[in-house]
Structures are given as structure tokens and as C-alpha cells.
Amino acid sequence: MQREIIPDVKSHYNFVSDAWRFIFGENFHLGFFRSEEMSLDEATNALTDELAQLGAITKNSKVLDVGCGIGEPALYLHEKYHCPVIGITISAKGVDLATKKCEERGYAHMLQFQLADALDNGFPDKSFDVVWAMESSHSMKDKEKLFAENYRVLKDNSTMLLCDMFLKRELNEMEIFNYRREITILEKVCGKAKAETFDSYQKRLKAAGFIEVETVDISEQAFPTMAHWRKNISNNYEKITQLFPKEKIDEFLMACDITEKFYRNSILGYGLVRAVKGHTTT
Ligand code: SAH
């Protein structure tokens, strides 16, 4: 098989952000469908609510949004829970779009978006009440470093919240070989990624020092999202082709089919994670 070139995460998000707005809407994550009637925008905001409520976010929670996309989760969190948020992303395009939206909505005094690497974010120790990683951890291969950095910047007795696609079980070498074509398409569409099992997240978070680690499987509510992405592609096809080569749209549609197949075969799932930093002495 010809060797495919998978773009690095930064170039990927700089390239896809404009076109993805016509497919995903403003939230670059899956939805939480409480019913079939929900629209994609309602469901993606509902996922933000699920995670916010899992972490009991209030107006006093100073939030670090790690992998902030084009800012919508941070803007929504501020609108609904009135908390201050700093969003970081590795994509300059994401910072630009998020900052523009923030200024348009009049929140520049409470929210900020900055270019920073989640693996070395540059913030002082113990400076946030919540570290929020919404569908960004799969992009970071070095989860140990990500969790250590998240732990470091959290104040004592504070919470890390995360949601992402998970592996339902470990794949053996033969399965990885047999699925190599599908895995490559997923990476071409989502950028370089490393999904892990719930179990592996739990172990890594505990090893990083977190004391309470809770996981919630919401696969059933999340996977209806793909049908909405397909519908958006069909409704916005002309606009998307001006931003994306046709071949990329075909790959995106294939990735929707593969993701659904992996979900049906109990290979992929979607979940929420809450992890608490206890009291530390230093
Ligand atoms: N949380 C957002 C975006 C999810 S897409 C939302 O739900 O809408 C994943 C995001 O993670 C992108 O913004 C990408 O730029 C960011 N990201 C990936 N790797 C990163 C890293 N190492 N440091 C900072 N941001 C990163």
C-alpha cells in the first residue's frame, strides 16, 4: 500500500477549521443526543453541559480550556455558567477565529484565547479550578505529559474534565494490520491521533496523581452525530468545495462510515472523564 502522509495536528487544524464549520457547526466535537429531535447545535452544546455539570462548574471556576478549537465551548461555558475561561490551542487559525467571536460577543474581559502547547502550557502551578479537555486528548500521543501538565496547573482539590473517543478494548496487532486502511482514513480526516481505552486513561490519570477518577460511557448518545455531519455536507456541499478539495469531502464521508462501523463492532466508544487533584503539600 502507498504510504499516506498524515498532516501534523497544527497544520491539520489550520487547514480544516473553515470548512469544518459547515460540517460540525461551531463546536468541533460530537453531540449528546438526548432525543432524535435535537439539532446538532443543541446536541453539541448539550455535551458541553454534560461535562460542565459532571464537574459542577460555577461562576467562580477559573477554567483552562485545553485544545479550545474555535472557541465555542469556552464561549458557551461563559454564557451559561458565567465562569472566566482561558482557551489554548496549537492552531493559530483557532486562536484568530475564537478571539474574533469573543470580541463580537463582548466577552473579551472574561475570556482569552492563546497559542500554546497543551504539553507545556507555560501557566504557573496551581492556577486553575478546572482543566477542561474537550475532544482534544486523542490528538496528543503523550498522554502522560498531558495529564502531568493538567495536574500541575490545577489548584488543590480541583477537577480535570475530559471527553473524547475511546477504544472499547485493546486491538491486537493482527486487527491493527487488518484495519490499517480504515485507521489511515480516520487519521487523514482527524489529524494524527492516538485513541486509548477507558482503562488506560484511568491508569494514566491515577499515575499522574489524580485521586478520584470517574468515567461515563455516553457512546449511545454521541454516535448519532455522524448522520448530522453527512446531512450538513450534503446541504453545504457547494460552500465546502470552495474550502476543501472534493477528495477531502469523500474522505470525511468515509470516516463517518468507518467511525459508525467501529462503534457497531464495539471498537470505538465515547466517554466523559472527571478526575480530582487532591491536597498536595508542595
Ligand atoms: N475543544 C474544542 C476543539 C476540539 S478539536 C471543541 O470541542 O470545539 C481538538 C483541538 O485540540 C484543536 O483546537 C487542536 O488545535 C487542539 N490541540 C491538539 N493538540 C494540541 C496541543 N498539543 N496543544 C494545544 N492544543 C492542541
Asked if pLDDT for residue 1 goes beyond 60, the answer is no
List the residue whose alpha carbon is closest to atom 19 of ligand 1: 139
CA angle 21-25-31, nearest 5°? 135
Asked if pLDDT for residue 2 goes beyond 70, the answer is no
Q: What is the tens place of the pLDDT at every residue in 180-233?
A: 999 999 999 999 999 999 999 999 999 999 999 999 999 999 999 999 999 999
For ligand 1, the distance from its centroid to the CA atom of residue 136, given in whole angstroms, is 5
The stretch 113-123 carries a mean pLDDT of 98
Asked if pLDDT for residue 246 goes beyond 90, the answer is yes
Task: Take residue 215 and report the three cell numbers written for it.
Answer: 468515567
Confidence of residue 44 (pLDDT cuts 50, 70, 90): very high
How confident is the prediction for the chain on average, in pLDDT? 96
List the residue whose alpha carbon is closest to atom 11 of ligand 1: 67
Nearest to 146 by CA among 66, 50, 209: 66
Query: How far, CA to CA in Å, does 9 sit from each of 98, 103, 139, 212?
Result: 18, 26, 7, 30
Q: What is the pTM of this model?
A: 0.97
Whether the CB-CB separation of 31 and 222 falls below 8 Å is answered with yes
Query: How far, CA to CA in Å, does 241 sit from each of 91, 233, 255, 260?
Result: 22, 10, 17, 24
Ligand 1 pocket, residues with Cβ under 6 angstroms? 9, 13, 27-29, 67-69, 72-73, 88-91, 94, 117-119, 134-136, 139-140
Whether the CB-CB separation of 218 and 50 falls below 8 Å is answered with yes
Whether the CB-CB separation of 141 and 194 falls below 8 Å is answered with yes
Of all residues in the chain, what percent carry a pLDDT higher than 90? 96
Asked if pLDDT for residue 7 goes beyond 90, the answer is no
Q: Which atom of ligand 1 is nearest to the CA of 191?
A: 18
Asked if pLDDT for residue 45 goes beyond 70, the answer is yes
Nearest to 87 by CA among 27, 168, 22: 27
Asked if pLDDT for residue 265 goes beyond 50, the answer is yes
The pLDDT of residue 64 is: 98
The pLDDT of residue 3 is: 59
| Rounded Cα gap, residues 200 and 207, in angstroms | 10
Q: What is the tens place of the pLDDT at every residue in 59-104?
A: 999 999 999 999 999 999 999 999 999 999 999 999 999 999 999 9
**Which of 9, 63, 162, 165 for mutating ligand 1's site (highest number of atoms within 8 Å of CB)?**
9
Q: Between helices 40-54 and 72-81, what is the axis angle to 10°?
A: 60
The pLDDT of residue 282 is: 73
Whether the CB-CB separation of 36 and 221 falls below 8 Å is answered with no
For ligand 1, the distance from its centroid to the CA atom of residue 51, given in whole angstroms, is 16
Give the Cβ contact number of residue 180 at 10 Å: 12
Tell me the Ramachandran region of residue 101: left when phi exceeds 0, alpha when psi lies from -120 to 50, beta otherwise: alpha
Give the Cβ contact number of residue 117 at 10 Å: 17
